[in-house]
Structure 1
Amino acid sequence: MAALGVAEAVAAPHPAEGAETAEAVELSRALSRLLPGLEADSKPGRRRALEALRRALEEPGPAADPTAFQGPWARLLLPRLLRCLSDPAEGCRALAVHLLDLGLRRAARPRDALPRLLPALAARLAGPVPARRPPEACEELRLALVQLLGLAVDLCGAALAPHLDDALRALRCSLLDPFAAVRRESCSCAAALAQATPERRPVLGCRELVFRNLSKILPALCHDITDWVVGTRVKSAQLLPVLLLHAEDHATQHLEVVLRTLFQACTDEEAAVVQSCTRSAELVGTFVSPEVFLKLILSTLKKTPSASGLLVLASAMRGCPREALQPHLAAIATELAQAHICQASENDLYLERLLLCVQALVSVCHEDCGVASLQLLDVLLTIVALAGATGLRDKAQETMDSLAMVEGVSSCQDLYRKHIGPLLERVTASHLDWTAHSPELLQFSVIVAQSGPALGEALPHVVPTLRACLQPSQDPQMRLKLFSILSTVLLRATDTINSQGQFPSYLETVTKDILAPNLQWHAGRTAAAIRTAAVSCLWALTSSEVLSAEQIRDVQETLMPQVLTTLEEDSKMTRLISCRIINTFLKTSGGMTDPEKLIRIYPEVLKEGSGLFPDLLVRETEAVIHKHRSATYCEQLLQHVQAVPATQ
């Protein structure tokens, strides 16, 4: 019954909607009674009708509601008021302009009036022949008409784009008006129009002129863009987008020359040259089929990957319409994710331009990026892994969040959950050949560090890779890096590596095959650093609350001998961590510890601490020595204290 009530409530018209409809009907009836007066033969009769309309619109009532006003305005008022602009009586024309101004401000959708309003304004301000005097003879009315055009620009903005020809025809004459106030108002209107409709289309005559002469101009221009004189390069680069804007799709036949020039010019040290060339590449994307420009750009990148080539690609895609770029999205993302492009350079400029390509695809294609999210995430992962600048890594992370948003998920960790299997499968394919500087190792590190709960779903990929790469025969620097990352995720095991509760099933592999070999003593500082890293990792494991008491006892059974040897390490940090680990082992064991194993532990702990309070230790030892079945260990401890001077 409750569901039925909700359905009825949704289906029933809202009271406000019914009221608005009634107001619109009431307003239509009121206006219909006044409109016939606009057709009166006498000037006073038409003026009285316009005055009555003014009062009806200015007084409080149905006309004050934009929604109720929109229908009667567009259907009844607008066409009749536009006819009044050519009324023989100056007063009637002035009232018509005032009512048009009022109507535009009141209407819920002022842009709906543009198809009728703009031609009417052009007809009154310019007329069929620009050289003649405008049809509107009154200076004040010409000013009011230009002000009305300015109001339309302010209210409608970019919606004026389809009506630019009419707006420009009106301004072309009003800018030369004898009345100074009209010229000033026209200048302001022209500036507002340029700002509202920046996407500059040139008139047909100019486009045709450029098209006919492009083959003569373009070669010399492309030559000058790479001239040794800075001023020549800047001016030539600024002219190129102007030519491409006029040439439109006719630039296709010259595309190879244009792209070759852009590839070279985008390496220029002069920022103004690069900026103009970026704009030119955007226009290539706007007017040239992506099937054509992608074939040329991607083939060049495949042969010689470069930062300038990636900038041209990103700019072209940014200028390409979504519906044209969408069919090529998967192919572009797949090509960018290839190692010969995304791993071609660790230079931050190259990686920044690679990031621009991904940003262009996400910003243009939006949710269509779902078909290529794995490849795009792979590219972003590479950028994060290889980037030297923190700012660049942050931008890549922001783009990951944008990709997640267009895919309809809450964060980049959800992207990892969706794709972590294929990502790790690709990254770990070459793990036996990794060194500390391998891009795949850096990518693997980023995945492990950032994937969060998704990591717990990928243990079949993660643990075998760690086992192989953390063997003593592998690169020491790589092992240090991996131990550091493993320690980090173990400290947050519930939210990372054990999110699915599966990590304890890999415990034997971690202890016997990963930690135990790296806790073995080997000479050298690097080996000592690795033992410290391994001990830290073991401490993270035992303190993470992931393991049960029985599992900790299993770890103790496996690793206690190695942990005891680390009590003699030179590093204070290693000794401290080892003590904490042994403390955890003892607390967990309770009364289940084998006395023989305990005897092997506590003399070494006592010996290490004997320098702190030697006198106290001697007194306590002598007080209990007679209680021991064998006094051997107590005697060894007393001899150690006597041999080692007390620490101050």
Structure 2
Amino acid sequence: MGELGKTENIRIMRNVNLLTSSEKIKRKNALLDISKELFGEGCCLVNEEELNNIFCDISISLLKTLSDDAEICRELGISLIRNFLLYLPVHEKYLSKVMPYLSQRIGDQKIIEPSEEIRLLLIQLLSLIVDRYGVLLSPYLNELVKILSNTVLDPYPVVKRESCECISLVANSLSKQFHLQSESLVKPTVNALTHQHYKVRLSAVNAISDIIRYGNSKSVDDVIGPLAERLFDSNSNVRLAVARAAGNWLLNFSDRYSYFHKILPLILTCLMDEIPDVKDKTLEYWESAGKQYETENDEELKDVKNYSFSTPSHYPQIARPRLGCRILVKNNFSKILPALIKELGDWTSEVRLKSACLLYQLILHLENNVTLNLEKVLTGMYFAAGDEEESIVKQVEKSAELIGYFVPPDVYCGLRL
């Protein structure tokens, strides 16, 4: 890359002066000329030192174009700033110039930027900054959260989606500091879970996954219910995203042991999804979680492992869940059961069916351990067996068949109504 000569420098400064012109066409052409002088056809035409000097000289004038009356000038200004940040070396001094202007433009609850397209460009610029600067953005975490908690509520769907993706970037890039501000993002991101566009819902699920993984563990209670509702989503990609989120938490969430009983119903329900691809990928997440649990509790499970390699002779013709998965369900079943029994009597048939599917998976994993809670289980099954929906009755029958494999007849017959 060559350096700008004196003539070119003079030309740039002349164009910078034109940015304050009262004529839109002059401001527009000035921005186009600056861009052409510096970046040409998609590449930087000057070295880093020269580019740094130019940005320091023109940054204030350039950043003021973000509030230009003409939309085209704001668009060109954003494009120029983006190119500067792409080609300048990563350094905090550039953040101190750019972040206050971004916060001012899209960090207020009242929409200041009227153009949907410009708001999208601004949030895309923010995503670029987060991706490039990473932990250097730590001093600006408050501004980042302020911006994103507003833009994720934007009426423009593409801005919502881009904001959700940027939230994930922030959570991953600032993982050590993110928990300090994460709670502020929960409510607005949950709001996006019910958007009519499935791509927005998908991005929102992914963002919530990262908010919980790197954020304040107290927020789990605020997201589990809304995520469970996405198990009824008409789009299979959204349901799979819920399974991925649950699998991610089971593997990586630092406080996962305290919340296993809340996470398990999400992933176990996805194991019964109507789409084979969702079932298969969910099983991969679930198997990984079970394997990790075995590794983390190797000493505790040593004796159990010695007697659990072979499948019992009287076992249904289906694949047996691995030991870690079975132990996870066994240890958390009593906390899951009360809500499950209640949902078997829910007023919506979709909830009753999902609950019946979850019950099947729980019994499959519990095996003979279901005996400890058999009376409560059978009470829920008796009620669901009289359901007006045939699909629910069939699912209950499948669960009853499993009990026949795992529980001696004299035990369950003694508990019949």
Query: Could you tell me the TM-score, scaled by structure 1's length?
Result: 0.32
Question: Which entry has the higher C-alpha Rg, 1 or 2?
Answer: 1
Query: Could you tell me the TM-score, scaled by structure 2's length?
Result: 0.45
Greater percentage in helix: 1
Higher relative contact order (CA 8 A, sep 6+): 2
